[in-house]
Amino acid sequence: MSIHPARVIASVLLIAGSAFVSVMALAVVIAKLLVVAGTAISPSNALLLADLITVLPFVTLFAAAGLLAAAGLFRGKRWSDDLAFGTAIAAVAVGAIELILLSVGRDPFASTASARSTDDGIGIIGAFTLLYLFVIVAVAVARLPRHSSTATGVMA
d(CA 107, CA 141): 34
SS3 letters across 15-30: HHHHHHHHHHHHHHHH
Q: What is the pLDDT of residues 30-49, one digit of tens each?
A: 999 999 999 999 888 888 89
Single-letter residue type at 58: F
93/132 Cα distance (integer angstroms): 10
Domain map of the chain by residue range?
Answer: 5-142
Task: Compute the CA torsion angle 60, 138, 98, 48 (nearest 10 deg).
Answer: 20
Neighbours of 103 (CB within 10 A): 11
**Local confidence band at 150 (pLDDT 50, 70, 90 cut-offs):** low
Distance in angstroms (rounded) separating the CA atoms of residues 11 and 76 = 10
- Sheet strands (E) in the chain: none
Tens of pLDDT, residue by residue over 104-146, are: 876 665 555 555 667 777 888 899 999 999 999 999 999 888 7
pLDDT band at 20 (very low <50, low <70, confident <90, very high): very high
